A and B are shown apart, each in its own frame.
Chain A
C-alpha cells in the first residue's frame, strides 16, 4: 500500500504553515485547502488519492488519472477547467482557481518524493499533526484516530 498524508486533528494548532509550504513549493499556488469547523478547529484538507477516484471518473478529458504509483495526478495540458472534479470530489478537497480556469490538485510533492524526502506540508507542520506513512499503519493506530474522528462526526451530526 502507498504512503499518504494523515492528519491528527488533536495536535493541529491551525497555523496553516502546511498551506504556506504548499504555495511556496507550487509556484505560489496553494494546492491545499483549509476548512473551518464552526470555530472549533481549522483543518487542512488533503487529497486522499482514492482507490476509485470520483474526480477521475467525472473528468471529461482524462486530465485526472490514477497513476501506476497509486496517486491521482492531474495533467496540466489536458485540463480544460470545467470544474467537474470539484463537484465530484466527495471530500471537497479540490479547490478551483477561477482566475486561471484550472483546478489545481495535490500531487504529493512528486519532486520531493523522488529525492526521498517527505511532502512539504508534512515537513513544515509545526505541531506534528501531519504525518506521512503507510495507510495501513495510520488506520490501525486507533489511539491516533479516535478523537479526530469524534470531532468530525460530531460536526457532521450537527449539520444534519
Chain B
C-alpha cells in the first residue's frame, strides 16, 4: 500500500498552522509536518499534535445517544427538534465549526423565529470580539508577515502559551536588527516575557488601564483626556517613567505590531482590544492583531452577527457546542441527547483565522459516524442549501461597527481594580519532570 500525504490545518488556536497526515488507503496512520506552509514552516506546538486524536481516538462518539442509550439518527433528531420547538431554546455554535456550519445554524435559528443563538468558546475571546465592534477609524489588522518584519512589538498577555509557533517571528524581531524592541505587558514572568526587552510588570488584571496610560502619553497634544498619568501609574503599579519610555519606544519605531491574546486573567478584554486598535492608529505603520483560543472565533461571530443582527447577551453563557440539553460533540458528555460530530478533518469548510485570511480545508478522512453541525441543522430545518456561496460575501462585510466615545471607555478603564495574583499553571501536559536531578553536578552537590 502506498503512503500518501494529505494537507490540513490545525484550528486549536486562531493562528491556523498547516500540518500533514500520512494516510494508507483511507486510513490515517501518522502526523507529519508541513514544511512548505508559510504560516509555520513545518513547526507545530504540543497542542497541534493532538489533531491526530480527532481522527483515530478509540473513544470518539460514533452513534447518537439518548440518556446513554444508542439510538438511530432519526430518533435523536426528532428528540432535538421537539426540544427546540417546545419553548425557550438556546443554540450555541462552537468556534471550531466552519463558516458554512455557522451559516446553517443561523438559518435554523431564523426558521425557529428567535435570536437566541450564540458563539460558544472561551468567554475572554468572545469579550475581546466585542471590542472589535467599537469603531476605530484607520485601524488595520496585521498580517503574519507584519509581525516578523516589525521593529517594535507590543505584546499584551502570554501569547507564546497560546500560539508558540509565533516564537519564530518574535525571534526574528528580537535578533533581527539592532534597536528592535519587544514590550511585554504581563503581571507574571512568562514564556513571552523571556523575550522582552521591556517587561511592564503591572498588577494583575490592569492591562486595559496600562494601555490607557500609553494612550494618554501619545494622544496628549491632539485630544484632551481626563486621565492623569500619575494616577494610572500608581494604580497599575509601575513608575511613570517606564510608561513614558514604553510609549516613546513604541511610537518612534518605524513599524510596529500590537499582539493581544485575550485571557481569563485579564479584565475587560473588549477595552484592551479597543485601546490596542486605537494605539495602533496613533503613529504611522502600526497594526494590531488578536489571537483567539478557538480557530474560527472570528468567522462564526461575524456570520451570526451579520445574519441575525443585534442580540441581547445571554443570561447564562452556554457551554461548548450545546444545543439546549442536546450536545453535538466529538466525545461523550453528560448531556441528555448526544449527537456525534464530525471534526474539521472529516469535513469540507472554510475558516477565518486571526489575520483575516480564509482557509478552505478539504476532508482528509471519511467520517467515523458523526455528521457536521451544518448537516444536523439542515436535517432539523428540512432545507437543502448549505449557503457556501453566500458565506464568503457575508464574511467580506466584516465585523459590524458601532460608534463609541474614547473618553467614555477611558472612564470605564479608570474604574478597574487590580485582581488577586494567581499562581500560574504549567503550560503543557507533560508535567515538570525532575529529570534535572540526573545532572551530574546535581548529584555531586546534593548527595
Q: Is A79 an interface residue (CB 8 A)?
A: no
B164 touches which one: A17, A93, A94, A160 (CB < 8 A)?
Answer: A17
Q: Which residues in A have their C-beta under 8 angstroms from that of B49?
A: 17, 20-21, 23-24, 124
Q: Which residues in A have their C-beta under 8 angstroms from that of B430?
A: 16, 19-20, 23, 30, 34
Q: Which residues in B have their C-beta under 8 angstroms from that of A90?
A: 440
13 further A-B contacts with Cβ under 8 Å, apart from A13-B194, A95-B433, A160-B445, are A11-B171, A14-B191, A15-B45, A17-B43, A19-B428, A20-B49, A23-B430, A36-B432, A37-B436, A45-B435, A124-B44, A124-B49, A126-B40
CB of B46 within 8 A of CB of A20, answer yes
Q: Is A60 an interface residue (CB 8 A)?
A: no
Q: Is A123 an interface residue (CB 8 A)?
A: yes
Q: Which residues in B have their C-beta under 8 angstroms from that of A39?
A: 189
Q: With A and B bound together, what is the CA distance between A45 and B437 in angstroms? A: 12
One digit per residue, 1 when the CB lies within 8 angstroms of any chain B CB and 0 when it does not, for chain A 115-142 equals 0000000011111100000000000000
CB of A124 within 8 A of CB of B436, answer no
Q: Which residues in A have their C-beta under 8 angstroms from that of B380?
A: none
Q: With A and B bound together, what is the CA distance between A95 and B431 in angstroms? A: 14
Interface residues of A in 1-57 (CB under 8 A from B): 10-11, 13-17, 19-21, 23-25, 30, 33-37, 39, 41, 45
Question: Would you mind naming 7 contact pairs between A and B with Cβ atoms under 8 Å apart?
Answer: A10-B175, A15-B427, A17-B43, A19-B46, A34-B430, A45-B435, A92-B436
Which of B40, B48, B436 has the largest number of chain A CB atoms within 10 A?
A: B436
A92 touches which one: B40, B165, B435 (CB < 8 A)?
Answer: B435
Q: Which residues in B have their C-beta under 8 angstroms from that of A36?
A: 432, 436
Q: With A and B bound together, what is the CA distance between A19 and B171 in angstroms? A: 21
B442 touches which one: A16, A20, A159 (CB < 8 A)?
Answer: A159
**Cβ-closest chain B residue relative to A20:** B46
Q: Which residues in B have their C-beta under 8 angstroms from that of A128?
A: 43, 168, 171
Given A15-B427, A16-B430, A17-B45: A126 and B435 interface contact (C-beta under 8 Å): no
Q: With A and B bound together, what is the CA distance between A126 and B40 in angstroms? A: 8
Q: Is B33 an interface residue (CB 8 A)?
A: yes
One digit per residue, 1 when the CB lies within 8 angstroms of any chain B CB and 0 when it does not, for chain A 78-96 equals 0000000010011111110
Q: Is A68 an interface residue (CB 8 A)?
A: no
Q: Which residues in B have their C-beta under 8 angstroms from that of A15?
A: 45-46, 160, 164, 167, 191, 427-428
Q: With A and B bound together, what is the CA distance between A89 and B435 in angstroms? A: 12
Q: Which residues in A have their C-beta under 8 angstroms from that of B164?
A: 13, 15, 17, 126-127
Q: With A and B bound together, what is the CA distance between A130 and B410 in angstroms? A: 44
Q: Which residues in A have their C-beta under 8 angstroms from that of B441?
A: 156, 159-160
**Cβ-closest chain B residue relative to A124:** B44
A95 touches which one: B52, B171, B432, B435 (CB < 8 A)?
Answer: B435
Q: Which residues in B have their C-beta under 8 angstroms from that of A126?
A: 40, 43-45, 164-168
**Cβ-closest chain B residue relative to A38:** B436
Least Cβ distance of A98 to chain B in Å? 12
Q: With A and B bound together, what is the CA distance between A149 and B276 in angstroms? A: 38
Q: Which residues in A have their C-beta under 8 angstroms from that of B324?
A: none
Q: Which residues in B have their C-beta under 8 angstroms from that of A91?
A: 439-440
Q: With A and B bound together, what is the CA distance between A124 and B20 in angstroms? A: 12
Q: Is B378 an interface residue (CB 8 A)?
A: no
Q: Which residues in B have their C-beta under 8 angstroms from that of A89?
A: 438
Which of A15, A17, A21 has the largest number of chain B CB atoms within 10 A?
A: A15
Q: Is B42 an interface residue (CB 8 A)?
A: yes
CB of B189 within 8 A of CB of A124, answer no
A34 touches which one: B35, B167, B195, B433 (CB < 8 A)?
Answer: B433
Q: With A and B bound together, what is the CA distance between A158 and B283 in angstroms? A: 45
